[in-house]
Amino acid sequence: MSPKHIEDMYDAVIVGAGAAGLSAALGMLRSDAIRGLRDDGVEPRILVISKLQPLRSHTGSAEGGIAASLGNVEADDWQWHYFDTVKGGDWLVDQDAAKLLAEYAPQTVINLERDGVAFSRTDDGRIAQRRFGGHTKDFGREPVRRAAYAADRVGHQILHSLWQQCVAAGVEFAEEWYVTDLVLDADRSRVAGVVAYDTHAGAVHAIHARNVLLATGGAGRLFHTTSNSWDLTGDGMALALAAGLQLEDAEFVQFHPTGLAHTGILLSEAARAEGGVLRNADGEAFMAQYAPEHRDLAARDVVSRSIMAEIDAGRGVADPKDPDGPKDCVWLDMTGIDRDHMEAVLPQVVETIRKYANIDPAKHWVPVKPTAHYTMGGIPITTDGEVYRWMAGDDAGRRTVVEGLFAAGECSCVSVHGANRLGGNSLLDACLFGNRAGLALAARIVEHPVDDPMADAADTTDDPLTAAVDAAAAARKDELAMLLSPADAADDAANGASDAIDDNPYRLLADLGRVMERAVAVRCSADTIGTALAALHDELAPRAAALHAHSDMAAFNQEVTAIWEARHLVSLGETVLRASDARHESRGSLKRLDYPDRDDAHFLAHSMCSGDGLLWQPVHIVDYPPQARAY
């Protein structure tokens, strides 16, 4: 679906159509502010741009649940959820944001049900809930059933329901358009719009907007083994970096403990919540040693490190598909779960194991290993979704909001996840803070709507911004023409890039994934980080700059967008490595072998990384001072 025409100016452009982007669109359109605007006869100009058809967004692959203290199965309290979120993030969580997350989680889940999400039910008809790692009652005393679920397909339910509501509300989508540029004014204080590439027509468009919201998802494809879909290439984060903005806590990348061996495909935490047990080569249920209270349902970083410790100690197993290969997996034993119950509540997990491993999980153990799953860091935002810069120099120690620029979901960092995200909090973050960003967008739109009949027709305040977007679009059109022009092997050879004509973005991404995995997957050190940075600077970045399309067709040329994605990931990879190198401690998902302990005295702070360098922003401590973290 493509817009029938491009407006001269939009009130708001939302980039990304997963749970965060769709929640923002609905929050905006359902707000009292927009209702009042429509009652006055003014229709807001809104466009949602998605590089996929929205129902292919990665939200649809979320399996296990969405966390909320509904108390439908056992007693629960949002204050307990708040504490668990802070502890789960190893005290790098901004507690004002985490408090909002926990307090408004039940309302968020109930609103999703009203929008059509078909949650699984208890016998008395209420929303069913299951255990998830790190969620407890009484401030850590024992596990609690807090994750609302829809079998093991809750993301699919949420995505379809939100999309249907957006279609019903008349939201205009630009589907399979790829945003190549985020355009700000000269001093990075105000948004001007975006540049987007229509993959169907092969055309570059200047999209002028008074407000832009980025909701582009994560960056799992930085790594060779990932649970993320193929399209999660860190686009929003890379766009922010290219525009001169910062990324917050980029060093914290969560590895989910149970990726199906050598595919990376996620086997939901729900499998362990329903009774699955992790075992080493000796058949030992080893999590009792590492997390005696919570065992297989400890926080994800704890379980992932425990698996790697077993592998490093020689107690790993080989993938049965490659029995002579490396022993870099452990077993997931689901044989203790009743077959009928397993089929009813874990249908997607069972189907994945049977289809991709040729194993019947009711009879045989399943090989698993940690897989890159979630980026805790991202574009820094306030609790209303406003993108800001953490300032240095004369303005040191304060946030400066970029006027009209918002973000939500995994590409952003409101810092409710800190150094490690608890299972069930990602869908909650996307829906809750997506909705809040939508409400903040609506408040800005009503102040100065594009179609305001009372506006001064001679107003030219937006002219410099319009020119900036047009200039960015012209530069991108020139680059596209260069990418599609016939490659000159003689010129390549003269520039020392004789292999460039044979290179391609897919090979580059595979090489980048292996470099990043060796450097910072689950554990790292100064040596591994330094080796990876050298590889990026000396090999991968020059290769990315030299990439050239192998077809001169602009329409439906997937290699063009793959080249831009590869360049985004190389840029983002460098930022992840620089931030990891700067943090001389181990916290949450970041395990530094050369700095094995947490260091609150020096690093109870968020890294704020950009092309201008790295700054540190203090964590917001409200109710829970840092303490030891154990499960």
According to DSSP, residue 501 is labeled: G
The per-residue pLDDT for 456 is 66
511 and 566 fall within a common domain? yes
* 293 within a domain of the structure (yes/no): yes
pLDDT digits (tens, 9 = 90+) for 21-80: 999 999 999 999 999 999 999 999 999 999 999 999 999 999 989 999 999 999 999 999
461 and 531 fall within a common domain? no
According to DSSP, residue 460 is labeled: -
Instruction: Give the pLDDT mean for 416-422.
Output: 97
* 625 within a domain of the structure (yes/no): no
pLDDT digits (tens, 9 = 90+) for 330-343: 999 999 999 999 99
| 1 pLDDT tier (thresholds 50, 70, 90) | low
Instruction: Give the pLDDT mean for 187-199.
Output: 97
| Token digits of residue 214 | 């980025």
472 and 484 fall within a common domain? no
Asked whether residue 459 carries a pLDDT value surpassing 70, the answer given is no
Asked whether residue 487 carries a pLDDT value surpassing 80, the answer given is no
4 and 120 fall within a common domain? yes
CB 555 within 8 A of CB 200: yes
Candidate from 368-382, 485-499, 593-607 with smallest mean pLDDT: 485-499
243 and 386 fall within a common domain? yes
* 606 within a domain of the structure (yes/no): no
Scanning 203-267, the segments in alpha helix (DSSP H) are 235-242
The per-residue pLDDT for 486 is 83
| Token digits of residue 618 | 């203090």
335 and 385 fall within a common domain? no
The per-residue pLDDT for 88 is 96
109 and 160 fall within a common domain? yes
Task: Please give the order of strands across the beta sheet that includes 605-610.
Answer: 247-248, 605-610, 613-618
> Is 305 marked active-site?
no
Q: Which helix (H) or strand (E) holds 112?
A: helix 105-114
* 261 within a domain of the structure (yes/no): no
7 and 110 fall within a common domain? yes
Task: Please count the structural domains in the chain.
Answer: 3
Instruction: Give the pLDDT mean for 113-121.
Output: 97
| CATH number for the domain harbouring residue 546 | 1.20.58.100
Instruction: Give the pLDDT mean for 369-380.
Output: 97
| CATH number for the domain harbouring residue 325 | 3.90.700.10
187 and 220 fall within a common domain? yes
Burial of 541 from C-beta contacts in 10 A (0-12 / 13-18 / 19+): middle
Q: Which of 349, 370, 391 is the last residue of a domain?
A: 370
* 562 within a domain of the structure (yes/no): yes
277 and 188 fall within a common domain? no
The per-residue pLDDT for 462 is 56
Catalytic residue among 272, 300, 523, 583: 300
The per-residue pLDDT for 556 is 95
| 488 pLDDT tier (thresholds 50, 70, 90) | low
| CATH number for the domain harbouring residue 128 | 3.50.50.60
- Rounded Cα–Cα distance for residues 595 and 404 (Å): 40
Candidate from 174-183, 305-314, 455-464, 515-524 with smallest mean pLDDT: 455-464
Q: Which residues contact 536 (CB under 8 A, 6 or more apart)?
A: 512, 515, 570, 573, 574, 577
pLDDT digits (tens, 9 = 90+) for 218-242: 999 999 999 999 999 999 999 999 9
Asked whether residue 494 carries a pLDDT value surpassing 50, the answer given is no
Q: Which of 310, 345, 370 is the last residue of a domain?
A: 370
The per-residue pLDDT for 396 is 83
* 626 within a domain of the structure (yes/no): no
324 and 178 fall within a common domain? no
Instruction: Give the pLDDT mean for 109-121.
Output: 98
The per-residue pLDDT for 457 is 56
Q: Which residues contact 143 (CB under 8 A, 6 or more apart)?
A: 131, 135, 136, 137, 294, 297
The per-residue pLDDT for 81 is 98
CB 66 within 8 A of CB 120: no
The per-residue pLDDT for 465 is 93
Q: Is 109 helix (H, G, I), strand (E, B) or coil?
A: helix
Asked whether residue 271 carries a pLDDT value surpassing 90, the answer given is yes
Instruction: Give the pLDDT mean for 248-273.
Output: 95
pLDDT digits (tens, 9 = 90+) for 577-620: 999 999 999 999 999 999 999 999 999 999 999 999 999 999 99
The per-residue pLDDT for 2 is 81
Q: Which of 370, 394, 423 is the last residue of a domain?
A: 370
| 496 pLDDT tier (thresholds 50, 70, 90) | very low
The per-residue pLDDT for 490 is 41
* 259 within a domain of the structure (yes/no): no
The residue assigned the tokens 């409400």 is 439
154 and 210 fall within a common domain? yes
Instruction: Give the pLDDT mean for 417-423.
Output: 96
Asked whether residue 631 carries a pLDDT value surpassing 80, the answer given is yes
> Which residue segment(s) compose the domain that 388 sits in?
1-252+376-477
Asked whether residue 495 carries a pLDDT value surpassing 60, the answer given is no
| 463 pLDDT tier (thresholds 50, 70, 90) | confident
Instruction: Give the pLDDT mean for 171-175.
Output: 97
Q: What percent of the chain has pLDDT over 70?
A: 97
Asked whether residue 501 carries a pLDDT value surpassing 80, the answer given is no
**Taking the CB of residue 507, how many other CB atoms lie within 10 A of it?**
13
Q: Is 410 helix (H, G, I), strand (E, B) or coil?
A: helix
* 609 within a domain of the structure (yes/no): no
